């Protein structure tokens, strides 16, 4: 599954960093994210900010990362 950068950003609106995958997945779920994105987030390690999330998901991202 490929995720759009904007969808990831919307899903993680209001995130407090550093955060681990479980915390990010829970936030994304409460923000209405697609179930596949929620599961992808659950699998990532602790990150210090949005750039870390994008780095962890880079193989699954579509669209611009800039």
* Closest by CA position to 40, among listed 52, 25, 23: 25
Q: Which residues, 6+ apart, have CB-to-CB distance to 1 below 8 Å?
A: 36, 37, 40, 60
Q: Can you give the pLDDT at residue 1?
A: 67
Q: Can you give the pLDDT at residue 66?
A: 47
Give the three-state DSSP class for 60.
Answer: helix
Burial label for 7, CB within 10 Å (0-12, 13-18, 19+), is middle
Each residue's pLDDT expressed in tens, for the chain with a length of 66 residues: 689 999 999 999 999 999 999 999 999 999 999 999 999 999 999 999 999 999 999 888 886 544
- Whether 28 and 12 have beta carbons less than 8 Å apart is answered as yes
């Amino acid at each position: 599954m490929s995720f759009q950068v904007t969808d990831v950003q919307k899903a993680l609106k209001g995130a407090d960093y550093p955060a681990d995958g479980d915390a990010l997945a829970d936030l994304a779920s409460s923000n209405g994210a697609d179930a596949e994105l929620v599961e992808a987030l659950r699998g990532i390690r602790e990150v210090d900010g949005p750039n870390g999330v994008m780095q962890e998901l880079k193989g699954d991202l579509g669209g611009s990362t800039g």
